[in-house]
Structure 1
Amino acid sequence: MKALVIEDKEYIRKGLLNLLQLVDTEVEVIGECESVKEAVVVANACKPDLIFLDINLTDGTGFDFLEQTESLNFKVIFITAYEEHALQALKIGAIDYLLKPVDIEELELALQKVSELSITKQKQQVKIVKEVWNNEDSKLILSLHDSFQVIDLNELLFCESDKGYTTFYCNDNKKYMVSKTLKEFEERLSKANFTRPHQSFMVNLKFIDKYDKSGVIHLKNGKKIPVSSRKKEQFLNAFLHWNNH
């Protein structure tokens, strides 16, 4: 398997080369690049089977490189750092990735995973990760049974949790269920103008039509959401702040 390493830090490149010699004799590194421009030229000339791709390069991102080499067929293992905001998209399982500094066991796992995934399937997953990367504040990836679904938080009405499952209700009448609790999404949704008026619900403030003082939220689509007595004050603060800002 011919491999190309695209990484702007030399010590990361050298470290990866050393690890590859230890874990997999089937991988032959045919080149190293540190910029998008250089990588595009080398990839087009050498047509690698596998690319180790840093997300942040000297003159752009790994996604810029992928856009300029769409006609080539190769598999990708991203190289990323803990602080990068795309890590959450990668963690959800949408793509193969290695954290810096590269760990030998993680490298072995990534090579195993990439060998089992078709190029077509991986290209589809890369597009999802790219969309979230470019729209981090307004996109969420849901891991469904047989796919990854991108949710536009600006069009998400509310979420409802029930017995370890959470259902996402969108403005286009579509809904998606995942086998995760609402708690796992609460922090992310709170940053996107959602409030939690009840243990079982999170609601998009922009879709609230009115609040009935008896303890019921009326959404613009007619759906009614209960407000628990314990969360009433917190909800009212968020609701009034949203409508006064």
Structure 2
Amino acid sequence: MKTLIIEDKAYIRKGLLNLLALIDSQVEVIGECASVKNAVIVANACKPDLIFLDINLLDGTAFDFLEQTEHLAFKIIFITAYEEHALKALKIGAVDYILKPVDVEDLKVALQKVNSLPVAIQKQQIKTVKDVLGNEDSKLILSLHDSFQVIDLNELLYCESDKGYTTFYCSDNKKYMVSKTLKEFEERLTDANFIRPHQSFMVNLKFIDKYEKSGIIYLKNGKKIPVSSRKKEHFVRSFLNWNNN
């Protein structure tokens, strides 16, 4: 099987390569990737039969990769550290996975299982996992450097974007930074009654205390958010509609 390893940690990739060489001569590793961007390019070009897929990658998640390669036919074995929320979803979806650090016996079992599973069935299993990870409209799952963080959108004050990173500020004074642009969250947040009054900000309408016509939003915690002249008319209309409903 032509096999691609998508994992952001080099030592995990190296260890997996060594184990595969020991236990299964039918597995031919054709590439290694650490990011969603590179993985999509390699997968589209090489059309692997099997992918070892880390859930948390340098620039996104396994599901970002799968959305961009959904028409390719390959088997998947997820690789994950023991992270309760993600692991629970994998178990519910009955998807093949191995825990880090990779154990040789677990690897053998996963290979045996994936070999006998039709691609169509596995795609349905993966859809189940994705639904479990994001099944609540009021929840947003952020892929941080070493974990997944569940955010309650009802408690999210605002988001601020800067140089390709977005920081989420919550009502409990916690904040979380992800390596994604605000644009990537805009549709999801808009559906949850957030508005984008400025290129660098999205604000939860429920936490707005007042709006000064000079172009300043005051949140209930005292934070000031600017409103750009280009977005001013749309913001005022949305703000007034929200408060009148």
**TM-score under structure 2 normalisation?**
0.55
Specify the alignment match of 2:48 in structure 1: 48
Specify the alignment match of 2:121 in structure 1: 121
Superposed displacement of residue 23, structure 1: 0.8
Superposed displacement of residue 94, structure 1: 1.5
Specify the alignment match of 2:90 in structure 1: 90
What is the percentage of aligned positions where both structures have the same residue? 76
Read off the aligned partner of 1:5 and give its amino acid letter: I
Superposed displacement of residue 91, structure 1: 2.3
Read off the aligned partner of 1:89 and give its amino acid letter: A
Listed as ranges, the gaps of 5+ residues in structure 1 are 140-245
After superposition, residues 133-172 of structure 1 pair within 5 angstroms as: 133-135=133-135
Q: Distance in 1 between matches of 2:114 and 2:29?
A: 16
Q: Distance in 1 between matches of 2:136 and 2:110?
A: 25
Read off the aligned partner of 1:10 and give its amino acid letter: A
Measured on the aligned residues, the alpha-carbon RMSD in Å equals 1.7
After superposition, residues 1-245 of structure 1 pair within 5 angstroms as: 1-92=1-92, 94-135=94-135
Superposed displacement of residue 135, structure 1: 2.9
Q: Distance in 2 between matches of 1:46 and 1:65?
A: 15
Q: Structure 1 pair 82/136, CA: closer, same or farther in 2 (3 Å)?
A: farther
How big is each residue's C-alpha offset from its partner over 1:78-111, in whole Å with a ceiling of 9 and x where there is no partner?
0001125110121246100010000000000000
Instruction: Detail structure 1 runs of 4+ shifted over 6 Å in the superposition.
Output: 136-139
Q: Distance in 2 between matches of 1:35 and 1:131?
A: 23
On the 8 A contact 2:93/2:126 being kept in 1, the answer is no
Q: Distance in 2 between matches of 1:101 and 1:75?
A: 21
Listed as ranges, the gaps of 5+ residues in structure 2 are 140-245
Q: Structure 1 pair 93/123, CA: closer, same or farther in 2 (3 Å)?
A: closer
Q: Distance in 2 between matches of 1:88 and 1:18?
A: 28
Q: Distance in 2 between matches of 1:137 and 1:91?
A: 22
On the 8 A contact 2:51/2:76 being kept in 1, the answer is yes
Q: Structure 1 pair 31/136, CA: closer, same or farther in 2 (3 Å)?
A: farther
Q: Distance in 2 between matches of 1:134 and 1:55?
A: 14
Specify the alignment match of 1:210 in structure 2: none
Specify the alignment match of 1:148 in structure 2: none
Q: Structure 1 pair 132/92, CA: closer, same or farther in 2 (3 Å)?
A: closer
Q: Distance in 2 between matches of 1:55 and 1:92?
A: 16
Specify the alignment match of 2:229 in structure 1: none
How many residues in Structure 1 have an aligned counterpart in Structure 2? 139
Q: Distance in 2 between matches of 1:62 and 1:115?
A: 20
**TM-score under structure 1 normalisation?**
0.55
